[in-house]
Copies of this chain bind each other. A is one copy, B any other.
Amino acid sequence: MHTSRAVARRQEQREELKAEMREAARAIFVRDGFQSLSMRKLAAEIGYSAAAIYLYFPSKEHLFHSLVEESFSRLSDSLAGLADEPSTSPVERLKRGGRLYVRWGCMHPNDYQIAFLLPVPLSGPYKTHQAFQTLRLLVVACLPAAGARDKRAETATQSIWAALHGITSLLIQRPSFPWRTKESVIQQVIDSAVDGAVTRSSRRGTHGGRNGRAR
């Protein structure tokens, strides 16, 4: 066995072990919460020393990031799949996307929390924002191809994202809050955000002058 044959095989095993580490890490923080995931515990779980992990991930934060990336990539795919689905209307599709987002967050609380706990990585477009871009597509489909569609789509997407993020993170972090009904609040948030930003939009400038300026 010579030359590149061996090196390729090594590369392959490297990737396998890396995946095994990710898997074990996910298993631990799904079981015990991500707060209590330490490098030594993870190492013990897979039968290596703690130092070994650093041969595959440069830091704990990078390891976490790779987990989150993996997860958000799947969320993004789900959202993208929605765009092609024959549904009643673009608005209905967008709302469906919103419900998907919230539900996904609630089903992957660790991933979701870590994603918004970690400082945004040093550079490059990353999966969290890819999910945002997918959402944006759903929004654009709702807007008429009129004048400043891009700018309007941007504001609309960002404000909808904010609303979705708000209810998602609250449901995760305050599960025992006396929610009126989780479902009804989710729906109210989504309907308001979407209707307000996309269907009856454009007209702005209520809250006008009077006295106090906001800001």
Contact = CB atoms under 8 A, between A and B. Distances in A.
A179 B158 contact: yes
Q: Which of A88, A166, A195, A206 has the most CB of B within 10 A?
A: A166
Chain A interface size band reads 35 or more
A187 interface: yes
Contacts of A92: 207, 210, 213-215
Contacts of A176: 120
B214 A99 contact: yes
Nearest to A166: B166
A161 B154 contact: no
A122 to B, nearest CB: 12
Interface stretch (A22-30, A52-60, A71-79, A167-175): A167-175
Contacts of A151: 180
A112 to B, nearest CB: 12
Interface string A159-195: 1011111110110011011011101110111011101
Contacts of A180: 151, 154-155, 158
A87 interface: yes
- Secondary structure class of chain A's binding surface, majority of residues: helix
Contacts of A187: 204, 207, 214
Contact of A170 (B87, B162, B195, B210): B162
**Pairs A-B, 6 closest by C-beta atoms:** A166-B166, A192-B196, A162-B167, A159-B188, A162-B166, A165-B166
28 contacts: A87-B210, A89-B214, A92-B213, A92-B214, A95-B207, A99-B215, A103-B215, A116-B170, A151-B180, A154-B180, A155-B180, A155-B185, A159-B189, A159-B192, A162-B167, A162-B170, A162-B185, A162-B189, A163-B163, A163-B192, A166-B167, A169-B169, A188-B204, A191-B204, A192-B192, A192-B193, A192-B196, A195-B196
